[in-house]
Amino acid sequence: MIGFDLTEEQQRMKELAHEFAEKEMRSVASHYDETEEFPWPDLKKAADV
């Protein structure tokens, strides 16, 4: 039977992505929604994580 549980590494990556989104993206999301701009500066920050 195939297991669909995340590995420890995958779980940690998921947690890091969630933490980044909460810390960095939540506060600016409405700005990007209103202006319809693409969040290039924040995408670059995400790449560094």
pTM, rounded to two decimals: 0.72
Provide the CA 4 distance to its chain's centre, in angstroms: 22
Residue with tokens 């960095």: 24
Q: Give, for all 49 residues of the chain, the pLDDT tens digit.
A: 788 999 999 999 999 999 999 999 999 999 999 999 999 999 899 888 8
Contact 14, 8 (CB under 8 A): no
Residue type, 2: I
